Structure 1
C-alpha cells in the first residue's frame, strides 16, 4: 500500500474534499426520514476529514455485468492501488477551480459565476468530462508526486462494490420504504425527489405515485411525453441544478471503503469509453457514467448497472464526478 498523500496538501489543494460536507452535515441531523426532503446527517469531522480513501489493487477484477446488464461482464484487471474521493466534487470546490484558472465552463444553474448559496456543498452538475479532466489537471499541478484524474469504469465499480461484490455500496438490499408521505432511503434517487414533489404539490398525485418499496410510477413516459418530468415543478427543480443533496447526506449509504453517494445524487464521469446501451446515447461511443442520480430509478443506482454514457463535451443536470489519485 502506498503511504497516504500528504494530508495538509490534499486538504488544501484537493479543495478540501469532505471538509465542507462535514461542516454542513454537522449543522443538521436527521433519522433519515422526511416528508419528501432529503435527509441530512451528522458525522465526526476527525473520522471523515481525509479527502480520499485507499482502494487496493484487484488484478482479478471483472465487471458484474456486461454493458447490456446481462450476465457476467468482461475482465478488467486493476493492477495498482489507488485513492478515490470520499465525496463527489462540490459546487464550492469547482468554483475554486473556475476562479483560479478560468478554464472550466460555469454550470448553467449558477448565477453571476457562483453556485446557489444552498448548494455549495452539493455535487457540481452540468460539468463536461472535458472540464472534469481540466479540474483534475489543475489539482495534479498542485500536488507533487501524484496524478489526479477521473476513475476508470473498472476502478469506479471496484470501489463501489467492495470486496463483497455488493449490489449497492452498503449491501445487497436497497432498504427503501415509503409510507404516509414519508420516505426512508440510504440514497438520493427519483423516489426522494418524487416524495418532495408530492409533498409540495398534492395535485401531482394524479400522475405520480411511490410504492411501499420506493418504486416510482408516473415519472416519465417517453412515448406519450407525459409524467412528472413534463411538469412545471420538475422544470423548476431542473433549472435550479436538480434535486441533489449535500455530499455525505446519507451516511448509511457509505461504501465498504468509506465513499459516500456512490448510489444516486449524481452520475459520475469515468475516463472509460463505451458504446452506450441505454438512454438517448444508445449505440454511440461515449464516456461511461456510473452510480445513478437524483433523477434515476433504483435499478440505475445499483453498483453493477452499466451502459449509461454521455458525450464528453456535454454538460448534464444529472452528471458530476469524483477524483482518483495515483502515485506517479
Structure 2
C-alpha cells in the first residue's frame, strides 16, 4: 500500500506533494524550464550504463539549491516522532554542532523519499538531476568542463565520518556550483534519485520525462561523495546501491514539479 501511495503521489503530482502552483518564489530552490537536453555519455567517454547519449525532454521542475543538512533533518525529527536520527552526528535527536550545516547522510532511499514527500516535495528523477548538473551546454561537471580540483568539490578523502570536518557545508564550494546556482552536485555526499537502476535502461528509455524502470533491485545514486574518485563526479556517472542499508555516504535533495516558474514580482 505504501508503494502505491508514493507511486500515485509522484506521477500525478497532486496536492502539495510534488507540484508548484503559482505564488511566491520558492526559497532555496532553482527552477529549470521545460525543454530538451542531452543525457548520458557518447561511446568515447563514460561507462556502459551511460550509453547511449540521447536527447531527453523534461517538463519544468524545481530542485533544491542545497543538499538536506543536519539542521534540516533535526527540524524534520521534531515534527515526526516515528523517525529516528541517522548513523552518526547526533546527541539524541539533536544534531551535533559541527554537523548542523553539513549534509545529513546514512539515509536509505525510502527515508529520503519520505523526507521529501512530508516536506511537500519529492525526489528528483535521474533525468532531472542530470539536467540540473549538465545544463543545456552539456557540461561534464556541474561547474563546467574543467577537471575536479579541491576548489570545486569535496572528494578523494578517506575513511568513515566521525566528525563534521570531513564534510563541507551544504553551501560550500562556490567554484563548484552550477551556473544556475545549485551547490554540491558533485562530491560531499552522493544523492539518491527516484529511479530504479538498470544498466541498460538508456537503450530503451522514453524521450519525454523518463522515470526509470517500473521495478528493480537497486535505486540510482548520483554525484559521488567525499571519498569518491574524480570519475564519479562526472554529471553522467550513475550507479545503483542496496537502498535497504543506511549507507554512510548517501543523502539527498528534493525536487518539485512546476511547468511555469513562480515568482514574487
Same fold per TM (> 0.5)? yes
Cα drift, residue 57 of structure 1: 2.0
User: Cα RMSD over matched residues?
Assistant: 2.7
Query: Hey, which bits of structure 1, 4+ residues long, moved more than 4 A?
Result: 2-5
Please, what TM-score do these two structures have when normalized by structure 1? 0.61
8 Å contact from structure 1 (residues 150, 270) kept in 2: yes
Does the 8 Å contact 1:286/1:309 carry over to 2? yes
Partner of 2:227: 295
**How far, CA to CA, are the matches of 1:298 and 1:327 in structure 2?**
33
* TM-score for both structures, normalised by structure 2: 0.75
Secondary structure of 1:189 counterpart: coil
Q: 1:303 to 1:5 in 2, by over 3 A?
A: farther
Residue of structure 2 in register with 1:151 after alignment: 124
The offset of 1:309, in angstroms, is: 1.7
SS in 2 for 1:88: coil
Look up the match of 1:169: 142
- Partner Cα separation in structure 2 for residue 152 and residue 139 of structure 1: 17
- Contact kept, 8 Å, 2:84 with 2:93, in 1: the verdict is no
Equivalent-residue separation in structure 2 for 1:325 and 1:304 (angstroms) = 22
Structure 1 residue corresponding to 2:119, chosen from 139, 146, 150 = 139
* Separation of aligned partners in 2, 1:310 and 1:276: 12
Find the residue that maps to 1:300 and give its secondary structure.
helix
When Rg is computed on C-alpha atoms for both structures, the one with the higher figure is 1
1:227-284 deviation digits (Å, cap 9, x = unpaired): xx6xxxx3xx42446821111210010112210001100101000001369xxxxxx8
Q: Distance in 1 between matches of 2:252 and 2:161?
A: 18
Cα pair 2:68 2:252 within 8 Å, conserved: yes
Aligned-partner Cα distance in 1 for 2:236–2:253: 18
Any residues of structure 2 matched to 1:73-92 within 5 Å, and which?
Answer: 73=52, 75=54, 77-92=56-71
Equivalent residues in 2 for 1:61-210, closer than 5 Å: 61-64=38-41, 69-70=47-48, 72-73=51-52, 75=54, 77-109=56-88, 110-140=90-120, 148-174=121-147, 176=149, 184-190=150-156, 193=157
In 2: Cα distance, 1:125 partner to 1:60 partner: 30
Tell me how many residue pairs correspond in the alignment: 222
- Residue number in structure 1 paired with 2:173: 250
Q: Does 1:325 align with 2:239?
A: no
Whole-angstrom CA distance in 2 between matches of 1:264 and 1:5: 33
Report the Cα offset of residue 304 of structure 1: 1.4
Q: Deviations over 1:275-320 (max 9, x none)?
A: 369xxxxxx82110100010101111111112x2222232111101
Unaligned runs of 5+ in 2: 1-19, 201-215, 260-265
Q: Which runs of 5+ in 1 are unaligned?
A: 11-49, 141-147, 177-183, 194-228, 278-283
Residue 310 (str. 1) matches residue 236 (str. 2): no
Cα pair 2:39 2:130 within 8 Å, conserved: no
Q: Is the 8 A contact 1:105 1:131 kept in 2?
A: no
2:66/2:171 contact within 8 Å kept: yes
- Superposed, 1:201-280 pairs within 5 Å as 234=159, 237-240=160-163, 243-275=166-198
